[in-house]
C-alpha cells in the first residue's frame, strides 16, 4: 500500500496500489477531503469545494 502526505495536517494517508488520478478520499487524521493530483510522485491536494450555482 502506498502513502501520501495530507497537505492540511501532514499525516500519512494510505493509498491503494490502484489509486487513480483525480480520485477523492479523506484524510484519516483530520478528515479533510483530498484529491489525488499527481501519481508520480503521489501528491494530494485539498478537494475543490462544491458550490451552488443557484441557477446561473
Task: Give per-residue pLDDT as tens, 6-55.
Answer: 999 999 999 999 999 999 999 999 999 999 999 999 999 999 887 666 66
Band (pLDDT 50/70/90 cuts) for residue 56 is low
Cα Dmax for the chain: 43
Give the number of other CB atoms < 10 A from CB of residue 34.
21
Q: Which of 43, 4, 12 lies closest to 29, judged by CA?
A: 12
- Contacts of residue 19, defined as CB under 8 A and 6 or more positions apart, other chains included, come to 2, 36, 39, 42
Q: Which of 40, 10, 14, 41 lies closest to 25, judged by CA?
A: 14
Which class is 2-46 in CATH?
Answer: mainly beta
Instruction: Specify the pLDDT at position 2.
Output: 86
Amino acid at each position: 500500500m502506498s502513502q501520501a502526505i495530507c497537505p492540511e495536517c501532514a499525516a500519512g494517508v494510505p493509498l491503494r496500489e490502484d489509486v487513480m488520478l483525480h480520485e477523492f478520499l479523506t484524510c484519516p487524521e483530520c478528515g479533510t477531503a483530498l484529491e489525488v493530483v499527481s501519481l508520480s510522485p503521489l501528491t494530494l491536494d485539498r478537494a475543490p469545494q462544491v458550490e451552488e450555482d443557484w441557477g446561473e
